[in-house]
Chain A
Amino acid sequence: MIGAFRRSIQFRYVTITVALSAVALVAVGGFLSFSIGNGLFQTRVEQILQESKRDSVEVQNTFSSSGATDAVSLQVLVNAVVPNLEQNAASGSRRVALLRTLNQATDQFLQSPISTTLSDADIPASLRDKVAKTDNRIIYRTETLFINGVQTPSVVVGSKINIPVAGQYELYLVYDISDVQATLDFMQSTLAVGGLIMILLLGIVAYFVTGRIVAPVARAAEVAEELALGSLDKRLPERGQDIVATLARSFNRMAQSLETQIGELSKLSKMQQRFVSDVSHELRTPLTTIKLAAEMLEARSDELDEKAKRSLDTLISQVARFESLLSDLLEMSRYDAGAVVAELESNDLKTVVKLAVAGLEPLAETLGCELRVKLPKGEVIAELDRRRIERVLRNLISNAIEHGAGKPIVIEVGQSKSAVAVTITDFGVGMSRSQMDRVFDRFWRADPARKRTTGGTGLGLAISLEDTHLHNGWLQVTSKPSQGTTFRITLPRKKDGIFTESPLPLGETLSQRRIV
């Protein structure tokens, strides 16, 4: 409920509308029922008082003018009063009591008549007291009395009557005003039902009105969300001239310019990648010609003098470097174009490491450094693109050989339940912190002036990083100047597998200097 209140604007506004209109209706209804009730009551009381006054005067006159002095004739007159008044009521039913004022010096010799459904006790003592002490005026009071056990709102009107010889009496007229109460009740219930219907209708109206306003906003939110998720061609319907249409139009303009700009950018980026790819391809054919020509010359190198021979060697080695640069560039442009797909198969990482090491043994031997390989027992199976991982390892090992200052290189393979890893550690020149930060940058070289023996292209580590990311793996480095460098590649066992820790520590071999 509270959740819906927070989430839905429509729900919120409908609830607020209903709550506020309910408060307003209760206030208005309360006021109406109070003032109407009051008005009804006052009118009725005035009517009752007029009637009572008239009747009271009439009763007094009857006694005053009768001239009767004996008890019997007075009793006859007294007895006639009650039924007369009961029948003479102008408005509704009334009950009558003619009671002798209490505590009089003279003796009571007349019986006090009273309506059958009324008793002395129904007339409040305080009222009797007040009536007894007041001259020439009628006194009234509203009371709830019981008639045959039923609660009845009543008005009791009292007045003094002097009966000659017999003394002072009090005439009470008791009016039943339950009809007024009934009218009031009916009006109140009508008001309540009407109010409820009104609130319901207001709720429905609020629902539709907010719906009309909220729907375009909700649609805009939906489209904005889709846009954010990459569906750049989504638009809002533009209808009419109102503020919602203005919102839709400016939203669409924004989306349009976004789409145009992103399209422009991706076109540019595609053109650039395409250009790099085309250049690499276009260079291949002349490179092939140069390479074949150099090869032909090489076959006849004994016919050349020393200097010409050296030139030929330069030509051949630089053509080879050019070629590897070209293929690295092409590989990089494939990654940039997102055109690389891993061919994953279950492979034993140990086999891949052995292949990479075997390929680099000759280079290591030439530079007089030893490759020490530490393999765990058993197979190290993971889903790999063998060609790419072998390339990464070859690249890392040849870097280690190149920067290892002729000291042994340690290659270690490890595995855990979720991941496999290889570390390659050299104890050579190492790198500073700032060099380490740039080591995966394209065309970055630790020492541009240093002689290159392996003919690296400057793209090797950038490609290795892409190859690793293609496997959802990590490629990390730690290094200390003049102590050495460790690279660690960690790969999940399955492509979508999750690992949080590499099976091998990074930098332990280096800090313990276990080899040296």
Chain B
Amino acid sequence: MVHKVLVVEDEELLNRQLCDMLENAGYEAVGSLDGVNAMLAFKNFNPDLVLLDIQLPPTSGIEVCKEIRAISGVPVIMLTAKTDDEDVVAGLEAGADDYIFKPMPSFKVLQARIEARLRPLRAPEANELVIGPLVIDVLGHEVRRDGVRVPLTPLEFNLLQTLAESPKQVFTREDLLKKVWGYHYDADTRLVNVHVQRLRSKIEDDPDNPKIVVTERGVGYKAGQF
């Protein structure tokens, strides 16, 4: 199966270079030079993954990311030339699954990140998991709360599933990076923190006082005990 990647990058040459290399690597790639076109292309092309530059005229990549999240859970990897913490966190909070700095160490590293996001889900250990009020239908890739479907991105689903499968285990942030993101690199634990916050805002009654995804101070996270 050929995966479709949408490249949103305003630098024309870099955009073309990325598309060429993606196509060389066996993906179907479409480039888009600004935010408005990006949304059109997203709807027409229906990509499996979006590579999104964060500094994008006229609307910023963060806005595009929010718009995509509003209609889809498709994996989004941010490309950013800004290495300042607040830019990275802002991108992640807008719903990006992962980020990579420009210039990336190599195209292979970028490809590994893309593969990690496209990788088919692990063989489930059980068909149905339950944490408190949530029922996780692993095969159907759905989370229900009192029979009502909770919309989660694949990454958020994966995170919740990982925690639910080992309800007694405390996962460190590094564990989760490895298991959920599929690789580990110079441990940027903000990635985990931000996504746990996003997940909580969707599934918890009171995200400030979480019951389902519990923080184990100084260690990491675990599934809440009910």
Contact = CB atoms under 8 A, between A and B. Distances in A.
Interface of A: 281-282, 284-289, 291-293, 295-296, 299, 323, 330, 387
A304 B40 CA distance: 41
Contact of A289 (B17, B24, B82, B106): B17
A282 B18 CA distance: 18
Contacts of B82: 281
Contacts of B13: 286, 289
Interface of B: 11, 13-14, 17-18, 20-21, 24, 81-83, 102-104, 106-107, 186
Residue from B14, B82, B186 with most neighbouring chain A CB atoms (10 Å): B14
A323 B103 contact: yes
Contacts of B104: 288
B186 A285 contact: no
Nearest to B187: A387
A313 to B, nearest CB: 15
Contact of B21 (A281, A284, A287, A292): A292
Nearest to B81: A284
Contacts of A330: 83
Given A284-B81, A288-B103, A296 B20 contact: yes
Contact of B103 (A282, A284, A296, A299): A284
> Nearest 6 CB-CB pairs, A to B?
A284-B81, A288-B103, A289-B14, A288-B102, A284-B102, A292-B17
A282 B13 CA distance: 15
A487 to B, nearest CB: 25
Given A281-B81, A284-B81, A292 B18 contact: yes
Residue from A281, A285, A286 with most neighbouring chain B CB atoms (10 Å): A285
A343 to B, nearest CB: 10
A296 B24 contact: yes
A43 B81 CA distance: 112
A373 B207 CA distance: 49
Residue from A281, A287, A292, A296 with most neighbouring chain B CB atoms (10 Å): A292
Contact of B11 (A281, A286, A387): A286
Given A284-B103, A296-B20, A296-B21, A289 B81 contact: no
Nearest to A281: B81
Given A286-B11, A295-B106, A296-B17, 18 more contacts: A282-B81, A286-B13, A288-B102, A288-B103, A289-B13, A289-B14, A291-B103, A291-B106, A292-B103, A293-B17, A295-B21, A295-B107, A296-B20, A296-B21, A296-B24, A296-B107, A330-B83, A387-B186
11 contacts: A285-B14, A285-B102, A287-B102, A287-B103, A288-B81, A289-B11, A289-B13, A291-B106, A292-B17, A296-B17, A330-B83
Nearest to B101: A284
A387 B185 CA distance: 13
Given A291-B103, A292-B107, A323-B103, A285 B20 contact: no
A282 B104 CA distance: 15
A298 B154 CA distance: 35
Nearest to B14: A289
A468 B24 CA distance: 45
A505 B173 CA distance: 39
A288 B24 contact: no
Nearest to A339: B84
B26 to A, nearest CB: 13
A195 B67 CA distance: 92
B107 A285 contact: no
Contacts of A323: 103
Residue from A284, A289, A291, A330 with most neighbouring chain B CB atoms (10 Å): A289
A291 B21 CA distance: 12
Nearest to A319: B103
Contacts of A285: 11, 14, 81, 102
A295 B103 CA distance: 12
Contacts of B81: 281-282, 284-285, 288
B19 to A, nearest CB: 11
A287 B101 CA distance: 12
Contacts of B14: 285-286, 288-289, 292
A448 to B, nearest CB: 27
Residue from B83, B103, B106 with most neighbouring chain A CB atoms (10 Å): B103
A281 B13 CA distance: 17
Contacts of A296: 17, 20-21, 24, 107
A292 B107 CA distance: 7
B22 to A, nearest CB: 11
Nearest to A282: B81
